[in-house]
Structure 1
Amino acid sequence: MAKNNTAKDPDKAPFGKLLAWQTRPIALGSITIIIAYFTNYCTDTLGMAPALVGTLLMASKIVDGITDLLAGYVVDNTKTKLGKGRPYEFCVVLAWACTVLLFSASPAWSLAVKCVWIFVMYTLVFSIFSTFLNAGESPYIIRAFGSRVAVTQVSSLGGIVITIGCTVVSITFPILMGQLATSAKGWSTLMLIYAVPLSLIGMLRFIFVKEVYTDQDAVSDRVSLKDMFTMLRSNKYTWCMAGVNGATQFVAGLGATSYYFIWIVGDIAKLSFLQMFTIVSLLVMLTFPAIISRKSANFLIGVGAAIGVVGYSLNFFAGANIPILVVSSLLAGIAVMPGSYLRTVLIMDIAKYNQWKGMPTMESTAAALANFFGKIFTALGSFVLGILLSAGGYDGSQAVQPESALTMIRLLYSFIPAAAMLLMVLCTVVYSSLTRQMPQIEKELAEREANR
């Protein structure tokens, strides 16, 4: 990684720049938090069957088979005065605009119109705008901060800032949802309350963080479709990293939390109380840089996932017991943090492995595959939620749910996400062989550079 004249020490991330970097993830992460309530909005406000909603969201992800890899190809070949990944930051405003529209359907519309509206808006949010934001993320951070040390600082310590920002949304949204989301108009008002400020916050990264480093290997080389497919065929570690992201997003896509607190706990407002304890999980993130210096990001992700298996399993036995739910929530929060915030560190290793094998680095393509898996598994989570709720006899129009539906909600909030965490553990076990190879890979790449 070479420095432009304006770049400083690549191992030091200036505090102001570190803070500015987190603004767009807060804005986009808030959409992910809010979208977890979308199935509830469709079933209880629009009167749609949960299985139909799950099928629509799953169908939307078919588009991602094209857009994710297309976005990776486009970003890998982007060369502008603004940089490689930075030009795509404007998509955060468009993503929020479509999210507002997604939650603005009318119950009076016909079922066909509702289905088309949901499919189109959901596809724009996640298959187009979020796709290009995520595809540009890895090349942007690598070229903005320059080294694995700085990227780890930004991803872990900066992740605390993201978590705090998103926790504010997690805490306030259920409260305002209980007050405003009693009608279709109330849902639209609720969305605007979050969309306007978060769209503005999301653009702060573009304004204050520039790309100041260039990758010499990729300055002149154009990434071809053949290069992309060669990497997908020969680099198994890319698939492991994608699996980690997919497992994390499957849990997010399940969106069973609101159902659990409405029907098992009996009060959606208590979810806000639970979200307050997320702050405690932030203390764990302070240890990330030290652990990675001794072990690796992959090791930390694997340990976190193993903790998540325990945490999510506890939910099945919690019922309405808030202390047990707090403990399980803390363990689950610890589980997803490494996989959520340290993915770029894995991508840097994958890029070096590609370079070592004589291919372009292709950070965006690697990230695109992870994003593709993430979206497919998010949709799969929504699909599983809808299918299992329907199988359990759930009916959002009823004041009382059958015991079979309540049992299904408990499973969706416990053992099913625990199984996803177990998949993540298996992915990190396979990926660990690359971690062991990295010192030799970096040594050989340095020798090649010195001999040029």
Structure 2
Amino acid sequence: MSKQGKENKVSAKLIFAWNSRSISVAISVVLMMQVTYYSTEILGLASTAVGTLFLLAKLFDGVTDLVVGFIIDRTNTRLGKARPYELFIIPLWVLIVAFFSTPDISTTGKMVYIFITYVLIQSVCSTFLQSCETVFLGRAIQDDVGRAKIMSIGGVIVMLFSAVSSILLPQLMANMGTQPGGWSKIALLYAVPMLLIGICRFIFVKEKPINQNDENQNRIGFFEGMKLLSKNKYIFILAFLIMLSFLVTNITTIVATYYFTFIFGDLGLMSVVGMLSLVAPFFFLLFPVAIRTIGSLLFVKIGLVVACAAAIVRFFFPASLPVIVLTTLLMTVGSSTLTMMNHYFILQCIDYGEIITEKRVEGTPAALTNFANKLGSGLASALVGGFMGLFGFVSAGTVQTDSAILSIRLLYSLIPAGIMVVMYIVVHFFDVEKVLAKLRTGK
């Protein structure tokens, strides 16, 4: 085996070490998906106000994402460019516990408290963790096949952990969530083991420089970095796709809690759906094969068609548990083909930018897509809260009107389907894989 082959070999140890932090963050996302439910049903805050609050918090990320991207691009330590920021996994979990331990104060006080803690979680900790991940991956694994392998196998591992967490969480919510201090206990049950697991990537995965002139990249100023970024059309297309993808994922995840509460009348049934999602991750083992055969973008398009069809079918069978379970599986697999491999596509965009500008900028492109991720999540919270409020949903109400029930059904089916149609159209213009291949070969 060549020296380069040895360097790029992806061992089982590296796969598990790398994905340790991915598991931790994924579990934190599962828990943070319930911030809207926690804020309306436990804290008793108005759904419209909560949606607006979280959207404002997400928009604030636009500033911090660009700043963090610039900081990472300028970082040069003995630990590497991105690796030091892995330590933000510690305050992330501390703050999550704090969020779900909101003190019993006035309504205004609660709004201020959840806004501050939410901003610290998302705009500081998550921003550093997500922005450094792509840069770290590009330096730990420096060939496309190795990156695809570590993400596809890692995607299975991460989604399995997420699925188990999604199965467990509704049961904890049903049994502990209504008790005084119950949500604090739930958060701690997740936080302690996930913090310990999440720190493993920092400990066991090392960075390698991209090239011999790597230190020169630290001299790129903020405005120069923005100028270089503006010449990379593919990173903006990808950012838009990521925003839409996370918009779909977050809408369905947020609404699922309301769906099973008010349409099925049993929140515990969410665990049935979560159990089937244990199957979904194994489909992502097909990604390296797809890259070699049909291409990554055709694989994404096929997934979107399947997910869109499943979402439409779901609308016509709202109270059928088998249909909901099956369509959830198809939507999870189909809509996740892009997000599960987003770091792969980001690195392609970074490589494209380096070729056309002759300068490599890593942190800022990653930060832009990170902002798109959070913007999609924030828009989902605002859309769910605003849409349900428009249809007459009553926070903490035990009975909802037919109009409010319809809003929940639409958010769980046809609205995600419409967004995925837009995604399919946009994917057609994201031909970076083909263009990059031509640029590398000079043909």
Indicate the TM-score class for this superposition, using the shorter chain for normalisation. Answer: over 0.9
* Distance in 1 of aligned mates of 2:368 and 2:425: 18
Within 5 Å, which residues of 2 pair with 1:237-276? 237-254=234-251, 255-276=254-275
Q: Which residue in 1 is equivalent to 2:420?
A: 421
Query: Which digits, 9 at most, give the CA deviation of each residue in 1:215-254, with x for residues without a partner?
Result: 3453323222233222342221111111221112112332
Q: Which residue in 1 is equivalent to 2:159?
A: 163
Other structure's SS at 1:212 match: coil
8 Å Cα contact 1:227/1:359 also seen in 2 = no
Query: Which digits, 9 at most, give the CA deviation of each residue in 1:57-81, with x for residues without a partner?
Result: 0111222111011111111121111
Other structure's SS at 2:130 match: helix
Q: Which residue in 2 is equivalent to 1:450?
A: none
Q: Which residue in 2 is equivalent to 1:25?
A: 22
8 Å Cα contact 1:347/1:363 also seen in 2 = no
Other structure's SS at 1:151 match: helix
Pair 1:172-2:171 in alignment: no
8 Å Cα contact 1:351/1:361 also seen in 2 = yes
How far apart are 1:385 and its partner, in Å? 0.6
Q: Which residue in 2 is equivalent to 1:49?
A: 46
Amino acid corresponding to residue 330 of structure 2 in structure 1: L
8 Å Cα contact 1:265/1:319 also seen in 2 = no
Amino acid corresponding to residue 225 of structure 1 in structure 2: F
Within 5 Å, which residues of 2 pair with 1:115-264? 115-216=111-212, 218-221=214-217, 222-254=219-251, 255-264=254-263
Query: Which digits, 9 at most, give the CA deviation of each residue in 1:343-364, with x for residues without a partner?
Result: 1221222122111112422222
8 Å Cα contact 1:104/1:184 also seen in 2 = no
Amino acid corresponding to residue 435 of structure 2 in structure 1: Q
Amino acid corresponding to residue 185 of structure 1 in structure 2: G
* Distance in 2 of aligned mates of 1:215 and 1:307: 41
Other structure's SS at 2:428 match: helix
Change over 3 Å in CA distance of 1:242–1:167 after alignment to 2: same
* Distance in 2 of aligned mates of 1:93 and 1:251: 29
Q: Which residue in 2 is equivalent to 1:95?
A: 92
8 Å Cα contact 1:10/1:150 also seen in 2 = no
Change over 3 Å in CA distance of 1:422–1:223 after alignment to 2: farther
Q: Which residue in 1 is equivalent to 2:387?
A: 388
* Distance in 2 of aligned mates of 1:155 and 1:301: 15
Amino acid corresponding to residue 148 of structure 1 in structure 2: D
* Distance in 1 of aligned mates of 2:37 and 2:343: 32
8 Å Cα contact 1:299/1:428 also seen in 2 = no
8 Å Cα contact 2:312/2:417 also seen in 1 = yes
Other structure's SS at 1:279 match: coil
How far apart are 1:311 and its partner, in Å? 2.0
Other structure's SS at 2:371 match: helix
How far apart are 1:294 and its partner, in Å? 1.9
* Distance in 2 of aligned mates of 1:257 and 1:8: 45
Amino acid corresponding to residue 274 of structure 1 in structure 2: V
* Distance in 2 of aligned mates of 1:161 and 1:238: 27
Other structure's SS at 1:362 match: coil
8 Å Cα contact 2:243/2:376 also seen in 1 = yes
Q: Which residue in 2 is equivalent to 1:435?
A: 433
Other structure's SS at 2:181 match: helix
8 Å Cα contact 1:160/1:285 also seen in 2 = yes
Other structure's SS at 2:207 match: coil
8 Å Cα contact 2:229/2:364 also seen in 1 = no
Q: Which moved more, 1:159-168 or 1:217-226?
A: 217-226
Other structure's SS at 1:181 match: coil
* Distance in 2 of aligned mates of 1:8 and 1:371: 31
Amino acid corresponding to residue 434 of structure 2 in structure 1: R
* Distance in 2 of aligned mates of 1:429 and 1:217: 35
Within 5 Å, which residues of 2 pair with 1:355-366? 355-366=354-365
Amino acid corresponding to residue 233 of structure 2 in structure 1: K
Pair 1:77-2:74 in alignment: yes
Query: Which digits, 9 at most, give the CA deviation of each residue in 1:88-136, with x for residues without a partner?
Result: 1111111111111111113x31111111111111101111100000110
Change over 3 Å in CA distance of 1:48–1:309 after alignment to 2: same
How far apart are 1:377 and its partner, in Å? 1.5
Q: Which moved more, 1:8-17 or 1:404-413?
A: 8-17
* Distance in 2 of aligned mates of 1:272 and 1:30: 16
Query: How many residues are aligned here?
Result: 439
How far apart are 1:84 and its partner, in Å? 1.2
8 Å Cα contact 2:229/2:353 also seen in 1 = no
8 Å Cα contact 1:36/1:252 also seen in 2 = no
Change over 3 Å in CA distance of 1:109–1:252 after alignment to 2: farther
Task: Mark the runs of 5 or more structure 2 residues left unpaired by the alignment.
Answer: none
* Distance in 2 of aligned mates of 1:34 and 1:314: 28
Other structure's SS at 2:267 match: coil
Within 5 Å, which residues of 2 pair with 1:321-360? 321-360=320-359
How far apart are 1:429 and its partner, in Å? 0.8
* Distance in 2 of aligned mates of 1:48 and 1:234: 44
Q: Which residue in 1 is equivalent to 2:399?
A: 400
TM-score (norm: length of structure 2): 0.95
* Distance in 1 of aligned mates of 2:301 and 2:102: 41
Change over 3 Å in CA distance of 1:435–1:54 after alignment to 2: same
8 Å Cα contact 2:27/2:162 also seen in 1 = yes
Pair 1:314-2:313 in alignment: yes
* Distance in 1 of aligned mates of 2:351 and 2:271: 42
Aligned residue among 12, 17, 27 for 1:15: 12
8 Å Cα contact 1:146/1:213 also seen in 2 = no
Other structure's SS at 2:80 match: coil
8 Å Cα contact 2:54/2:115 also seen in 1 = yes
Amino acid corresponding to residue 40 of structure 2 in structure 1: T
